[in-house]
Chains A and B, each alone.
Chain A
């Protein structure tokens, strides 16, 4: 098998809530479902923990796409956390779009602990979308780039 060294592999940061999506990722693993290894999962206590700064910082440190996964609305472990996330991220993504940053680089998905298959499918789809967009140029920090 030949490996194309120049093939673009995006770096994806996935913020997963401890109670649903992180367990969902675990389930997709134990079910032997495939999703790309360039998805780096960061576990957060609740999707509501994700500060807009985290998303921007991820892009700064080299992420090409950022995805947020939380419990389905209504199922939040802390009852209402993801409702706040929903409003915040809507506004943040809209602002990024307003500044001309490709809107497909950011996404929010609700993945429950039982949806291992959905987790894998979501990640496959998101990685494919970001691969099509190519490298993150508009929110990059040159100082953080590998030479």
Chain B
């Protein structure tokens, strides 16, 4: 796949369709890949990489890149195409300046999970259907995908690229996922148990803002959490209230626009399951206002910028049984 991508990128650079390429760059280790912009074939040869560690959602970078001069080539996984659609719908990207190549995706590996499964000194990875073959300094090792996939990929919502100018390989289909199972489990707990669960998770927050910075839905140029007047700008939470405030507001600001790409949880250095907050909003929206998948359709109206006369009253929350 990587060779095919580089070949196609070189062709498009050569015929002038695009003047730069957005992809992933090799880091110190094979699992250390970073999004990067490549401007020449030489740069592509030197450090362009694509493997099962390339989890970053590149659509976020298109907000800035698409406003520059000339067209940019972007390699997008199915998740990323949902984000691009959502950003296009919100007029946050200039779609005409983007040449999107859709990639098939069979799930990305979580390096922490691989290490936990016993892989040390990782030098490479290959997809073997239901398994990952991990090349290490000590020989090859086979790890079942069930143990090594990133959480968002284990509960993949769709393998379908919803917007692209060109596809490399076959387009997948929307998946029948179990992504709301954990949310349901939490809902079935008592309020005290839920409180204890979230207190335990959110108290680890160091307010590095990585979840906000990586989120393709968080693209405001002026963020409430950067406002020095707000009292919560760029400081570690001093109080358990601040942790909750930050996470409730962060999740609320992307409610109805979150495509559930899972970047927030992926980048969290403290491994807080932030996707569970976003999925709660998605689940509520689906149940109360009808099924909605952000980014699936550019023309669709977001559930929080829309209403019907028959909407339920906020008291539905109180009528939900006793826990």
Contact = CB atoms under 8 A, between A and B. Distances in A.
B252 A98 contact: no
A76 B131 CA distance: 58
Interface stretch (A7-15, A30-38, A137-145): A137-145
Contacts of B194: 98-100
Contact of A100 (B196, B242, B289): B196
A138 B313 contact: no
Nearest to B252: A52
Interface stretch (B93-101, B138-146, B277-285): B277-285
A97 B195 contact: no
Interface in B93-150: none
Contact of B280 (A59, A84, A90, A94): A94
A121 interface: no
B317 interface: yes
B193 A100 contact: yes
Contact of A86 (B193, B248, B311, B320): B311
Nearest to B305: A84
Main SS at interface, chain B: helix
Contact of A90 (B197, B199, B248, B316): B316
B193 A84 contact: no
Main SS at interface, chain A: helix
Interface string A95-125: 1111111111011100000000000000000
Contacts of B89: none
A52 B259 CA distance: 21
Contacts of B192: 100
A96 B318 contact: no
Nearest to B238: A143
Interface string B168-200: 000000000000000000110001111111110
Contacts, number: 110
Interface string A57-90: 0011000000000000110000010011011111
B307 interface: yes
A100 B195 contact: yes
B288 A90 contact: yes
Contacts of A59: 241
Interface residues of A, number: 38
Question: What's the interface size class on B, roughly?
Answer: 35 or more
B241 A140 contact: yes
Interface string B221-232: 000100000000
A60 B249 contact: no
A56 B245 contact: yes
B314 A90 contact: yes
B195 A53 contact: no
Contacts of A97: 191, 317, 320
A95 B239 contact: no
A93 to B, nearest CB: 4
B76 interface: no
Interface string B289-323: 10000000000000111011101111111101000
Contacts of B92: none
Given A98-B194, A99-B198, A100-B195, A91 B307 contact: no
A130 to B, nearest CB: 13
18 contacts: A56-B245, A56-B249, A83-B307, A83-B308, A89-B314, A90-B311, A90-B317, A95-B248, A97-B191, A98-B194, A99-B194, A100-B191, A100-B197, A101-B191, A107-B315, A141-B241, A142-B239, A143-B238
Given A86-B311, A91-B281, A108-B313, 6 more contacts: A52-B252, A83-B308, A94-B317, A107-B314, A139-B244, A142-B239
Interface of B: 186-187, 191-199, 224, 238-239, 241-242, 244-245, 248-249, 251-252, 255, 277, 280-281, 284-285, 288-289, 303-305, 307-309, 311-318, 320
